[in-house]
Chains A and B, each alone.
Chain A
Amino acid sequence: MKALTGNRLDDGEAVFASGDRWVPRFADADLFEDDQAALAAEAHAKTELTVVVDPYLIDVIPSDNGYAPLSFRERVRALGPTNKPEHGKKTEGGEAIEALLHAHGAARSKGRIELIRRK
C-alpha cells in the first residue's frame, strides 16, 4: 500500500495527497492499493508546480487501529521532530497519531534516496 507525499510550496510543510487536495495529516491521506493508480497520482502531482515540491510515493503498513508509513524518516515527517514534544503534527494527538507513534516498520526512505540522487 502506498501514499503520496511532498512538501507544500509556500510553507514547506509535509503534506499528503487526498483526493484533489494536499493535506497535512497523514491520517487523511489517500492510500493506494493499486501501484498503477499510485504512479498515475505521482505523475499528476509532478505537474502541480505551485502547490507541492518534489512529490514521491511512500510505502504504508497497518499499525494499531490505523496505518503508518513504513520508513521511520517518513514517520518523523508525519509526526514532527522527536526532540520537541511541543512541535509538529504529533501535538494533535488521537488514535491516528498513536498509530504512527507505535509503528515498527523499517525501510530506507525513497525520499532521501531521490534527494541524494539529485544532489
Chain B
Amino acid sequence: MYRYDAIDKEMLADRVQEFREQCARRLAGELTEDQFKRIRLMNGLYLQLHAYMLRIAIPYGALNSAQLRKLAFIAGTYDKGYGHFTTRTNLQLHWIKLKDAPDILEHLAEVGMHAIQTSGNDIRNITADPHAGATADEADDPRIWAEAIRQWSTFHPEFSFLPRKFKIAVTASPSDRAATKVYDIGLRLHRNGDGELAFEVMVGGGLGRTPYLGSTIRKHLPVRHLLSYLQAILRVYNRHGRRDNIWKARIKVLVASLGPEGFAREVDEEWETSDKARVDLPDTELARIRAAFAPRDFQTLPATSTAFEAAKSNPAFARFARHNVKPHKIPGYALVDVSLKQPGETPGDCSVEQMQAVADLAERYSMDEARVHYEQNLILPHVKLDDVPAVWKALDAVGLATPNRGLITDIIACPGLDYCALANARAIPIAQAIARKFADPALAERVGDLGIKISGCINACGHHHVGAIGILGVDKKGEEFYQLTLGGSPEANATLGQSLGPALPADKVAGAVDQLVEVYLRERKGEERFLDTFRRTGLAPFKEAVYADAH
C-alpha cells in the first residue's frame, strides 16, 4: 500500500491548518457564505438537508486497518455512529458540524487521508478495480497507475478549474469491475501483441442527464506515456469544453460534438507537440510507486482447503461461499466480499462497530488490507481459504455476512432526498422496500445475478443508467415518481438501460420490480441472467406486465 512521505504529510498538515483558519474566519463572519462555500467544497465539505456532509476520498478504494479504524473513530466521535460508502468508493459522513471539520481533517491526515478534490471542477478521487493485486486476470496492478495519476492530479494547477468535474477509473482486467466505460476517462491496462503493457484509453463516458459510454480513442498507449497523454486530453477539454452551460460542460458532450475521431485528432495534435519527457513518470518514480504495491508475501498452500470445504456442510456458509467468496490469483487464498446490503438496511451504510470489525479482520486475516467496491460493498482481498469460515462467523456477528453479492438485494442507492440537497426523490426507502421483498436468501439466489441501481435525481450517483433494472427518482409537481429502465450494464460490454414507460409512484415501484422478476423467471432459458433474457426478448413482455393495469 502506498504510504505518504514527509512531503505529503507536510502538505496535508499545512492544508488542515489553512482550513482551520478559514473556518474560524467564516464562523466569525469575516467571510460570507459565497466566499467560503468554494473553500469548504475544496475540502470535501458540503451543506445538505440536515447537516454538513464530509466526503472523504479513498483512493482506488484501498484501506488498511489503521485507516478503517480512524474512519470508525471519526464516525463515532463526530457523526451518528456510521458512514456511507458511495459509488465513487468515497466515504460520506452525513451529520458533520462545521466547527468539527478541521479536527476531523487533522485526524484523517494522521492516517494519510483527506477530503481534497472530492468536490469542485477538478480531477476527483481516482478509482480502480477493487480486485487489484488479488485477481489472476489482470495485466498489471492498476493501483500503481491509479496512484501515479493521484499524485499527478492532486493540486495540479492547470487542472484545478476545469469546465466541470472529472473522473478517472483504471482497470487491468477484461472483467470490468470499475465501470470504466462510464467515466470521463476509463483506462484499461492490457498487453499488446508484443507483450508490452499498454492502455486502452476510453474518453467521454458518463451518466447524468445525458448518458454516454466512453469511446476508445487509443487502443495501445504505451504505459510510459500515460501522464503526457492524460495531460493532452485534459488540455483539449480545458480549451474546448463548454463553460456556458453546466448541463453541457462535461467532457462527454465535447467528445460527442467533435466525434471520437475528431476529439482523438485534437488530443494527438496536442500530445505530439507537448514535451512528453517533462510530464511522463520517470522510471525511478514509477519504480518507487510500484514498490509500494509489491506482491504480498503469500504462503504456498494447497488449492483446496479441507476446512473451507467442510464448513460448507452448513447451508448458510455454503451460500456465502457461493456468492461472496471469489477466486484469488494465489492457490489457497480468496477474496471475501463484505456485503453492506442487509435487506432493510441502507445500502452502503456501515456502522462504527462494523468498520471496526472489518478493520480487525483485515489486520488478522487479509494482510491488513480492505477494499471499497463502487457497488457500495467492502472486500477482504487476501484471505486464506482455511480462514474463510472464521471470517464469515465474525462478519455474521456484526450483520455483514449477507450472502447476496451480485443478487437482486445487492442494490446500489444514492443517499437521495433523505440527505442530499440536490435530490428530487428518495432512493434508500425504494431500495429497502425491494430488498425486503426478496429478503429470503433462497429466493434471491433463485432470481440470480441482477443489478438494481437507484438514483434520487438525474445526476445519477446511483448509476441507474447501467442497472439491469435502473430506477430514477423524479419530481412531479413535488411528488416522488420513479422512471424505470431495463437492460443497463456497467460491465466490459456495457449498455445503457432503455426506458420501460411512464414513471410510477413510490408505492408501486417494489411491486413493479416483482412483476419484472416474474416475467424474467417465466421467460428465461437455461442459465440466462436477467440481462441476457432482456437482451433476447426486448422490452415488450416486461412492459406489458408492469403496465397491464393501465390498458
User: What is the interface of chain A, defined by CB distance below 8 A to chain B?
Assistant: 7, 9-14, 49-50, 53-54, 70-73, 76-77, 80-84, 87-88, 105-109, 111-112, 115-116, 119
Contacts and interface: CB of A to CB of B under 8 A. Distances in A.
B26 A9 contact: yes
Interface string B39-50: 000000001111
Contacts of B52: 11-12
A72 B480 contact: yes
A115 B98 contact: no
Nearest to B95: A87
Contact of A53 (B47, B50, B475): B47
Interface string B409-421: 0000000011101
Contacts of A73: 49, 417, 478
Contact of A87 (B29, B80, B422): B80
Contacts of A54: 33, 47
A12 B418 CA distance: 15
Nearest to B424: A112
A107 B478 contact: yes
Contact of A82 (B51, B418, B475, B479): B418
Interface residues of B, number: 36
Interface in B32-66: 32-33, 47-52
Contacts of A72: 417, 478-480
A73 B27 CA distance: 27
A10 B421 contact: no
Interface in B453-483: 475, 477-480
Contacts of B98: 9-12
Given A73-B49, A83-B418, A108-B478, 19 more contacts: A7-B51, A10-B27, A11-B99, A12-B52, A14-B50, A54-B33, A70-B478, A72-B478, A72-B480, A73-B417, A76-B417, A76-B418, A80-B50, A81-B94, A83-B426, A84-B418, A106-B479, A108-B477, A119-B246
Contacts of B97: 10-12
A107 B51 CA distance: 23
B422 A115 contact: yes
Nearest to B480: A72
A12 B99 contact: no
Given A72-B480, A119-B246, A13 B51 contact: yes
Contact of A12 (B29, B51, B428, B478): B51
A54 B51 CA distance: 13
Contacts of B441: none
A115 to B, nearest CB: 6
